[in-house]
Amino acid sequence: MKYKELVKAARKAKRYSHSPFSKYRVGAAVLSANGRIYTGCNIENSSYSLTICAERTALFKAISEGEKKFVALAISNDEKKFASPCGACRQVISDLAGEIDIILTNGKGKIKEFKTSELLPYPFTSKNLE
Ligand code: THU
- Examine the residue annotation and report whether 55 is marked as an active-site residue of this protein: yes
Residues having CB within 6 Å of any atom of ligand 1: 19, 22, 24, 26, 42, 44, 51, 53-55, 83, 85-86, 89
* Closest alpha carbon to 96 in 64, 65, 69, 58: 69
pLDDT at residue number 71 = 98
pTM of the predicted protein model: 0.97
Q: Which atom of ligand 1 is nearest to the CA of 84?
A: 6
Cα of 34 to ligand 1 centre, how many Å?
Answer: 28
Tens-place pLDDT, residues 6-42: 999 999 999 999 999 999 999 999 999 999 999 999 9
Could you give the CA distance from residue 121 to residue 125 in angstroms, rounded to a whole number? Answer: 11
Tens-place pLDDT, residues 62-97: 999 999 999 999 999 999 999 899 999 999 999 999
Out of 1.10.287.1080, 1.10.10.2120, 3.40.140.10, 3.40.50.1580, select the CATH number for domain 2-129.
3.40.140.10
Give the rounded distance of the alpha carbon of 112 from its chain centre.
14
Q: Which atom of ligand 1 is nearest to the CA of 85?
A: 6
